[in-house]
Amino acid sequence: MKVVIVGGVAGGATAAARIRRLDERAEITVFERSGYVSYANCGLPYYIGDVISDSEELTLQTPQSFFSRFRVNIKVRHEVTALHPDRKSISVRNLETGDEFEEFYDKLILSPGAKPVQPRLPGVGIKKLFTLRTVEDTFRMKEYINNNHPQSVVLAGGGFIGLELSENLRELGMDVTIVQRPGQLMNPFDADMASFIHNEVRRNGVRLALGRTVEGFEETDGGVKVILKDEEPLCADMVVLAIGVTPDTELAKEAGLEMGIKGSIVVNEQMETSFPDIYAAGDAVQVKHYVTGQDALISLAGPANKQGRIIADNICGGKSHYLGSQGSSVIKVFDVVAATTGVNETNAKKAGLDVDTVILSPMNHAGYYPGGKVMTMKVVFEKETYRLLGAQIVGYDGVDKRIDVLATAIHAGLKATQLKDLDLAYAPPYSSAKDPVNMAGFMIDNISKGILKQWHLEDVSALPRDGSRTLLDVRTTMEYDGGHIDGFINIPVDELRENLDKIEKGKPVYVICQSGLRSYIAARILEGNGYEAYNFSGGFRFYDAVLNDRCLIEKASACGMDRQ
């Protein structure tokens, strides 16, 4: 059996190694357009920032090491120029010699990945404008920084690459501005949770220009001018385009393979394309979202590796299936960790799901053990069924552990109420006896039983201030005096029972505290005394962080720049 693989890195290299482990006699050839067949994509920003200082650390396998261990023929600097499914062959050009030839196959695997979005704007292609996808891109950017010592950079895009680069370039002492059309960074997160990411990047000196449209670039004597729609341009010594990626699938399209959303390759659960004996994996393929069942593009290394393994199994006579992508991811943002899995509230509603959420602010470990820090957790679930849909967490130590537990629970089909039943490891340096995941489950279980009734951030502006509702802040007097929502009276929770006569019966009571815990206790006191009480999800800490962020974004829109 002769297997030809177009593209290395996650999907292609994984498939090649797995095929060899399953079939010692298969003839395996990988054609890779770049000079590197297996490298750490996700580590590229950290090489720019000198966190990874040795360029060889980026290379997981070389053509020589791959051949020595797996007897796989790796042809780097070889570009596949055409697919010929009718005669089961591909056209290849050697980029070093210019020679062209035809290669035949029994099985073909397409792993072309994705390419940075290159908008058709004036100035795209100038020397001081960079993208970051390949090792070669990394070396080009790093060489420019080392030789020219730029003092400022504009990052067009605030996704994974944009955020990771912002941190690494700040560590090099550069003045960093992120500009993008969406009004928030990191679209996998809801806007309210993204506020905590915004706060962290601002705290570290990164300027945000959100909700701005880039209309072009001009090279100047001193650097690059970024032209914005209806605003003054931004000026910097260099610019990085990080506005997203798009499937690199022109060959598949020209060959007549069935194409999906945004030009992706359509595959079935076995990762087979619409043509016999042709498979595809990685950022170039359309997948099903594991939670919603809808078609999706999810460009992450984990799914690409799994897909490559599944293809290898099926080529070698097995029966493996790809069940879909959840989008589980985690990112370091300066000192905080932000992670997500499943579907966020915004996209769940777009998918037509009737959802609710809980927002909590637990400590990463036992409060009495030194060094504890607060994390903000948002869990999304379906009303009525209590199906667990997704989660987002922003915090410090322990965020990755909790998101992985929640990702596993979603994959296993657990209901959100069942999170309370998980038996999770506990010791004071690592967790609490009631783990944050369990706490989310307790809250959702209380909702399912009618013990907890909530009101949310989006309800604040709509709450009538005409006396038809009682608006109650149960924090301490000092906390209340430090800032509160207009229209809320203050009765500390520990004094509530003695002051029930100040709360009129027959009116719903909307309660808030700092994190949501004391207000829940207050709501139970009120319910136990014949009141109808609603607890604010997330607490004043959450409200204050989100509102402050929104004010900064709106102020920046009026002033032309986020001045922190």
The pairs formed by 345-349 with CB atoms below 8 angstroms and a separation of 24 or more are: 345/190, 345/378, 345/380, 345/390, 346/190, 346/191, 347/292, 348/291, 348/292, 348/380, 348/382, 348/389, 348/390
- Whether 42 is a known active-site residue: answer yes
Q: Give CA–CA dist 502/357, Å, rounded.
A: 31
- Set 42, 235, 513, 551: catalytic member: 42
Look at the block and give the residue holding tokens 């790796």.
74
Read out DSSP for 287-346?
EEBTTT--EE----HHHHHHHHHHHHHHHTT-------B---EEEEETTEEEEEEE--HH
Quick check: 338 and 331 in contact, CB under 8 A?
A: yes
* CA–CA separation, 226 and 221 (whole Å): 14
Selection from 383, 411, 132, 191 nearest residue 290 by Cα: 411
Longest pairwise C-alpha distance within the chain:
90
Structure tokens at 414: 């657990």
Q: Starting from the edge strand earliest in sequence, which strands make up the sheet with 152-156, in order? A: 129-130, 238-241, 152-156, 175-180, 207-210
Output the DSSP codes for 63-117. Answer: HHHHHHHH--EEEETEEEEEEETTTTEEEEEETTT--EEEEE-SEEEE---EEE-
In whole angstroms, how far apart are CA 51 and each of 44, 152, 167, 307?
10, 19, 11, 30
Could you give the CA distance from residue 404 to residue 422 in angstroms, rounded to a whole number? 13
Q: Which residues are catalytic?
A: 42
